[in-house]
A and B are shown apart, each in its own frame.
Chain A
């Protein structure tokens, strides 16, 4: 068959396909740019959401590390009858003798005492505050500090004086400390000495009104039993100390003691995916979909507008396959352009936001790779139908019905 001899090559070399794929872009820059923008926004949204959540997680973990992961808390659990198993008053001293323990501080819940702004507040409005007797070096152990005023010291721990946790101050409506300021606690006025900063590791401190041990016993009828013991241990001995704490704190009833490591819970919390991430990823996916529709739309219009070009190319010897691959590669190129711009935008917004928050910029590689891949696939899918249309167009119609 003579025709076989005619055929030498049919496929265009890749360099020609690449040149052809940018024809539409070069002729109609604004339009191509806008249609790529749709995909860019979608990709940017997805990359930014993944990048921001990774960066904020890294930031939080970093913060937790700075606060120290060597804090252990010992609190009173329940005894066999279901009542509270009080920790012995000797427990802090016993724990302090465990090899590897650096610091021991305690708080003791003052049962039956509630804190109010003044005596006229109805007793049921407790604001979910607890009144705690606190030891004098508590702040360094729970990694917080005084925001205003001062903390308890040996002298004022004897007096009817309270220090408010961050949340407690807010709930009582106290935003600053001034001389003579007082709150009503358990039928007794207590003077406010200071307000604390939020304690990230131990949020129980935030909603507490802290009073010195001697004062709590003298004015509020506190029984002197610590309810929570905060222990800082040497990093390399945390596990050992952890195992010994229960039996040491309450040798008679070790099972009535609950020991925990607050940083563990926070780390778990930080690593848990935020529900909002799903929402934003969904929004990003919707933007991508809209972008894909935009590209498909532009490509269809482009095929209609470029009838004469299609006809001419057919006359110059292009096969249907050549036309198809030209328009398909143009759509893929638009998609890829959107993907590159989108990933760049996503990375830029992530790093700007992380920078303002003081976090390290963390970008999951799968976010960037996924962005590129998604834009590539979207371009191909969006361009498929227009490309098939262009290839189906008969050269005579394309050339003689303009």
Chain B
């Protein structure tokens, strides 16, 4: 698929396969002038016209106090909800034109989620928890488990695939959740307060893992209320009262700082590129999931 890729470690090859849609680094996720109001008297506006583009290989922190609309933004970016107005495009696909079931399949194959509360199934093993990340992508059980094992290796938990999540520490559980988000090799991973339930040291180790995955080529968005965390990320988007107030812009593209809406036109920053290799892609904006 990506014939021009530099030689890569295993999981990086997968990462390179994943970022397939960026003909000239087209954004993986675009949010275009999106508003969202919740029903009520009067309707409660949560987002008041947000535009954001995230290119392949980026690691973005979305930071804002509670009630700022960052969770709503994540829900819209994750296609878990539809905007009141505006467009959301994932790998070039406009959510508004897609049926619910198609959007669900899009989630199954192109978006990974990490939650503050982990949401692991306590009755099943770590391996099966991770394998469930592929359940709705239509992959047979045996293959799901094999890929789950590979992904557990990526997060440093390959030694204990058959324990239950209850036997793990909080940090380990979050690693399992991250593995579950990554197992389908999604185009983008959305992490909602991934360190929110963890102590500081563990939180740092999770951030280090996220950074490591980012270097390996994953596109990751971290939603947090903690400026200290957000500032450690290459790109930080500040949100307040349903509007984007700051955006440090894509790291490699300094010019985009003042144009946060602009489509990222260049390949990922050199650091990321070194890790992922220069992605080479077909015209086709939409590809079947890697198998």
Contact = CB atoms under 8 A, between A and B. Distances in A.
A402 B197 CA distance: 15
A396 interface: yes
Contacts of A125: none
A27 B122 contact: yes
Contacts of B283: none
A5 interface: yes
Given A15-B141, A314-B104, A317-B107, A3 B98 contact: yes
A10 B136 CA distance: 8
Interface centre among A13, A314, A319, by most chain B C-beta atoms within 10 angstroms, is A319
A314 B119 contact: no
Contacts of A317: 104-109, 135-137
B201 interface: no
A23 B123 contact: yes
B109 A395 contact: no
A6 interface: yes
Contact of A16 (B92, B99, B121, B135): B135
Interface stretch (A34-42, A177-185, A292-300, A305-313): A305-313
Interface in B240-291: 285-289
Interface range for B: 35 or more
Nearest to B122: A27
Contacts of A1: 97
Contacts of B98: 3
A308 B285 contact: no
B101 interface: yes
A80 B141 CA distance: 89
Contact of A320 (B92, B100, B138): B100
A23 B135 CA distance: 14
A6 B138 contact: no
A27 B124 CA distance: 9
B119 A312 contact: yes
A388 to B, nearest CB: 15
Nearest to A24: B123
Nearest to B180: A316
B101 A13 contact: no
Interface string A12-49: 11011001000100110000000000000000000000
Interface in B135-186: 135-138, 140-141, 180
A274 to B, nearest CB: 48
B108 A316 contact: yes
Interface centre among B100, B106, B136, B141, by most chain A C-beta atoms within 10 angstroms, is B136
Interface range for A: 35 or more
Interface string A367-402: 000000000000000000000000000111001101
Interface stretch (B24-32, B74-82, B230-238): B74-82
A394 B76 CA distance: 13
A319 B286 contact: no
Contact of A319 (B78, B100, B287, B288): B100
A292 B133 CA distance: 33
Interface in B119-137: 119, 121-124, 132-133, 135-137
A122 interface: no
B135 A12 contact: yes
A314 B108 contact: no
Given A316-B108, A396-B80, A9 B138 contact: yes
Interface string B80-102: 11000000000011000111111
Given A3-B97, A3-B98, A23-B123, A316 B286 contact: no
Given A12-B135, A317-B136, A309 B80 contact: no
Contact of A7 (B105, B132, B141): B105
Nearest to B93: A2
Contacts of A399: 80, 115, 119
B2 interface: no
21 contacts: A2-B286, A3-B93, A3-B99, A5-B288, A6-B102, A6-B106, A8-B138, A10-B101, A10-B138, A16-B141, A19-B141, A26-B124, A308-B117, A312-B115, A315-B113, A316-B132, A316-B133, A316-B135, A322-B136, A394-B81, A400-B75
* A-B residue pairs, 8 tightest by C-beta: A317-B108, A317-B136, A9-B138, A319-B104, A317-B107, A312-B119, A2-B286, A395-B80
Given A5-B287, A317-B136, A395-B80, 6 more contacts: A27-B121, A27-B122, A316-B108, A316-B180, A317-B107, A394-B81
